[in-house]
Amino acid sequence: MNLKANICGIAFALTGATALIPAASVAASTPHYTFAMITHAQPGDSFWDIVRKGAAAAAKKDNVTLVYLSNPTASGEAQLITNVVQQHLDGIAVTLAFPDSEGPAVAQAEKAGIPVVGFNAGLDNWKQMGLLSYVGQDETIAGEAVGDRLNSEGVTKAVCVDQQQGAVQLEARCDGIAKTFKGKMSVLYVNGYDMAGAQSRIVAKLQEDPSIGYVVTLGAPFAPVAVAAVATANSKALVGTFDMSPTVVKLVQSGKVQWAIDQQPYVEGYEAIDLLWLNKVNGDVVGGGQPVLTGPTFVSKDNIAEVAKFAKMGTR
């Protein structure tokens, strides 16, 4: 894939993994900017649709042209940042899923005077990389909360399903679980969004060890895969997941998924763009050197009714 070929001039003629979302017309006196949002999204992950909705809403309010770009690999995301810097855009919102690879490109942006805000991934790296602010969930704290939850449910053995090996925020989730969970936890890596392959690997793991009491998935699209795997393996394991989607809402309502950790991706996308805008129009830097946290929150049968109406709108 020729990443540079996807970007043609400041208007960005975008195809494939890229999209241009024009802002609605607003008062002529409002400054107009063009911001890029660059993520490590993998194809088919509905989580990023919600992030983009939030970003688009902020862009519309702020009279901003939003350029959305994504690549699930370390080198690919770093190259996208470099391409955006070469186009001299007004601001960049980026997920630091691969901080070692992205660091040099981020430094280029900052040297060029382009403000950069981190979101979703990179909580442990954004300060040292010189970003203005960070919006997202503390993934270690979220993982620790899951470990505590498993303890309270009397679980002795669990599996953490990681769909993107090497992505720092996913590793932090599993590490957080292991930190507080008093039972035995293993990490099961699956290949990206090969759902059939992921299901087969979970089934094999459950058949290999019938004593596994919980399968915890790190992304909403994998929750129904885990549910199907449990049924196929004739396992008694329960399923919990990180992140929300309309499908996960239904699974929680039906009792097939016990809970979901909601980091509020709509807010992540919205705030990442709005923080760039505030910095451009008023020199604001929000957070006081601390991250702007959007989660974690457990969603279960106890509170799913309140969340469901927003999930139906595609914002949770």
**Tens digit of pLDDT per residue, the chain (316 long)?**
444 334 333 333 333 333 444 444 444 467 899 999 999 998 888 899 999 999 999 999 999 999 999 999 999 999 999 999 999 999 999 999 999 999 999 999 999 999 999 999 999 999 999 999 999 999 999 999 999 999 999 999 999 999 999 999 999 999 999 999 999 999 999 987 799 999 999 999 999 999 999 999 999 999 999 999 999 999 999 999 999 999 999 999 999 999 999 999 999 999 999 999 999 999 999 999 999 999 999 999 999 999 999 988 889 8
The answer to whether 241 and 173 are in contact (CB under 8 A) is: no
The tokens describing 178, both together, are: 């292991």
Q: In sequence order, what DSSP letters do the residues of the chain get, joined into one string?
A: --GGGG--STT----TT-EEEPPPP--TTS--EEEEEEE-PPTT-THHHHHHHHHHHHHHHHTEEEEEEE-SSHHHHHHHHHHHHHTT-SEEEE--SSHHHHHHHHHHHHHTT--EEEESS-TTTTTTTT-S-EEE--HHHHHHHHHHHHHHTT--EEEEEESSTT-HHHHHHHHHHHHH--SEEEEEE--TT-HHHHHHHHHHHHHH-TT--EEEESSTTHHHHHHHHHHHTT---EEEEES--HHHHHHHHHTSS-EEEE--HHHHHHHHHHHHHHHHHH----STTS-EE---EEEETTTHHHHHHHHHTT--
Angle between helix 246-254 and helix 222-232 axes, rounded to 10 deg: 40
Write down the pTM of the prediction: 0.84
pLDDT at 191: 87
- pLDDT at position 29, please? 64
Domains and CATH numbers, the chain: 3-137+264-285 (3.40.50.2300), 139-262+301-312 (3.40.50.2300)
Contact status, residue 69 vs residue 18, Cβ threshold 8 Å: yes
Predicted pLDDT at 122: 96
